[in-house]
């Protein structure tokens, strides 16, 4: 019994430590997404990122590299870009760049495994963006992309995406309580939609880490020609990631476990690349884009990640850059909370999170249908029993009107992510 309790405690502890690693990135990423949704005009996004040429994809790559490293935040931002007119190629280029070309990911890889892995991550990220752009052109039609965009727009019927209606400059928006309220409500809405998926992802990663090196080693071919071993590892790596991983910085400790356990260089890289096709994120893709488009892009991503892993392995093998020294031990993988830059960033993230939620509480009111917070100054309304009732969307107002017995004070009938699933099914 004590052994079971020890495993349960260690799983929770490692889940918490992984969450601690990426908390600041999650908050910053969702805040950026909320700002994009609220402040960036659709016309500007369309002009910059629409189309499948080199220029919009390059701009999306640069924007992603300058953004958050968290996979969940990356897909939230990419979805808002896609809704605003960016092509699927540009949106996915942003996702790949945001989770593979950011400095903090390379730094963690360098510290835990070695600079070769950091360099391979950047090279592989560029390769995946190129491969994915080509694959989308070959296997996704314009009609399928348009249908996915319409589905992404419908997915937001569950909560209001507050657009700053005033014609303000960026400097004016920075000092406008109304503009920041738009950001805060979008920020809260995205968290309410995705918090369950994110929490499940952290818990999975924490408990998979308790399985030990032996479990992972049993998954890899060891007595086989190098080519066969590499191909098997590069296929198994993403499968492990799909079943166990949180987000791009958080999977580096698990990548270190695999590397110390004997997986090949290609397998480690394919595992790291697979941060965008883990099970909770696949569920989110379905909510955002519909089942058909989600299945198509997940399949293309898997193939792209496997091929990129093989290409990187070939390039680094030919140039002698694959590490041949001692591999990290389990003691190197999980650290502890200490006074450093990470603690400062996480404290700042708590402040940002609290401030934005406080703003929604101060200026917001709850939609009685879906339970979402909405800015009372910009919400849709009706009068019922002498009271003003506020709604996040026309969908919720129509649902409330369709039920003559509904009360303005009634408890919400659904939470956002269930409501969004209803709309997007």
Cβ burial, residue 124 (10 Å; 0-12/13-18/19+): buried
The residues near 343 (Cβ < 8 Å, ≥ 6 apart) are 337
The answer on 393 and 278 residing in a single domain is no
DSSP 8-state code for residue 329: P
Question: Does residue 186 contact residue 162 with C-beta atoms inside 8 Å?
Answer: yes
The answer on 124 and 255 residing in a single domain is yes
The answer on 253 and 136 residing in a single domain is yes
The answer on 307 and 403 residing in a single domain is no
- Measure the CA–CA gap between 260 and 295, rounded to whole angstroms: 33
Question: Does residue 11 contact residue 202 with C-beta atoms inside 8 Å?
Answer: no
The answer on 31 and 16 residing in a single domain is yes
Question: Does residue 78 contact residue 89 with C-beta atoms inside 8 Å?
Answer: no
Per-residue pLDDT of the chain (425 residues; tens, 9 = 90+): 777 788 888 888 877 877 787 788 778 877 877 787 677 665 566 667 766 678 888 888 888 876 655 677 778 778 888 887 888 999 999 889 888 887 767 776 776 778 899 899 999 999 999 999 999 989 988 899 989 988 887 765 444 445 545 566 767 777 787 888 888 888 887 787 667 767 776 777 677 777 766 666 676 766 677 778 888 888 888 888 887 655 666 677 777 777 776 788 998 899 889 888 888 888 889 888 988 999 999 999 999 999 999 999 999 989 989 887 666 665 555 666 788 878 898 999 999 999 999 988 888 788 787 777 777 777 788 877 778 888 877 777 877 877 756 666 655 543 343 343 333 32
Residue ending a domain, among 358, 381, 396, is: 358
Task: Outline where 84-222 has alpha helix (H).
Answer: 88-100, 103-112, 115-139, 142-155, 170-174, 177-208, 212-217
Question: Does residue 225 contact residue 100 with C-beta atoms inside 8 Å?
Answer: no
The answer on 344 and 213 residing in a single domain is yes
**pTM of the predicted protein model:** 0.65
pLDDT given at position 305: 93
pLDDT given at position 44: 62
Residue ending a domain, among 358, 377, 393, is: 358
What helix, strand, coil percent values describe the chain, rounded to 5? 70, 5, 25
How many separate domains does the chain show? Answer: 2
The answer on 185 and 287 residing in a single domain is yes
- Measure the CA–CA gap between 308 and 292, rounded to whole angstroms: 24
Domain containing 401: what range? Answer: 365-424
- Measure the CA–CA gap between 378 and 293, rounded to whole angstroms: 33
Which strand (E) or helix (H) includes residue 391? strand 387-391
Residue ending a domain, among 335, 358, 381, is: 358
């Amino acid at each position: 019994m004590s052994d079971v309790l020890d495993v349960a405690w260690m799983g929770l502890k490692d889940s918490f430590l992984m969450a601690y690693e990426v908390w600041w990135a999650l908050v910053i990423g969702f805040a950026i997404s909320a700002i994009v949704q609220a402040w960036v005009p659709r016309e500007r996004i369309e002009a910059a990122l629409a189309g499948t040429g080199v220029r919009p994809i390059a701009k999306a790559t640069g924007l992603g590299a300058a953004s958050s490293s968290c996979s969940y935040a990356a897909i939230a931002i990419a979805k808002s870009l896609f809704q605003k007119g960016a092509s699927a190629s540009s949106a996915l280029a942003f996702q790949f760049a945001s989770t593979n070309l950011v400095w903090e990911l390379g730094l963690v890889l360098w510290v835990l495994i070695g600079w070769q892995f950091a360099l391979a991550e950047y090279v592989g990220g560029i390769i995946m963006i190129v491969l994915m752009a080509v694959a989308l052109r070959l296997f996704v039609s314009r009609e399928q992309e348009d249908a996915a965009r319409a589905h992404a727009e419908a997915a937001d019927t569950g909560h209001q995406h507050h657009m700053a209606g005033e014609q303000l400059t960026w400097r004016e928006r920075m000092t406008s309580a109304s503009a920041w309220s738009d950001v805060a409500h979008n920020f809260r809405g995205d968290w309410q939609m995705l918090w369950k998926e994110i929490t499940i992802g952290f818990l999975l990663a924490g408990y998979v880490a308790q399985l030990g090196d032996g479990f992972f080693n049993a998954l890899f071919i060891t007595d086989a020609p190098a080519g066969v071993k590499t191909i098997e590892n590069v296929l198994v790596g993403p499968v492990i990631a799909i079943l166990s991983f949180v987000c791009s910085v958080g999977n580096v400790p698990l990548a270190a476990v695999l590397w110390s356990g004997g997986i090949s260089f290609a397998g480690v890289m394919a595992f790291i690349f697979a941060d965008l096709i883990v099970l909770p994120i696949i569920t989110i893709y379905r909510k955002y884009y519909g089942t058909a488009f989600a299945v198509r892009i997940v399949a293309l991503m898997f193939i792209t990640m496997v091929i990129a892993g093989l290409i990187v392995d070939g390039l680094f093998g030919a140039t002698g850059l694959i590490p041949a020294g001692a591999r990290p031990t389990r003691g190197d993988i999980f650290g502890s909370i200490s006074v450093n830059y990470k603690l400062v960033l996480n404290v700042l993230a708590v402040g940002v999170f609290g401030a934005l939620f406080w703003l929604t509480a101060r200026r917001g009111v709850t939609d009685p249908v879906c339970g979402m917070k909405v800015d009372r100054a910009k919400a849709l309304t009706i009068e019922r029993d002498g009271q003003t009732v506020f709604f996040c969307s026309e969908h919720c107002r129509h649902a409330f009107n369709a039920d003559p017995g509904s009360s303005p004070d009634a408890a919400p009938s659904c939470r956002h992510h269930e409501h969004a699933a209803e709309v997007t099914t």
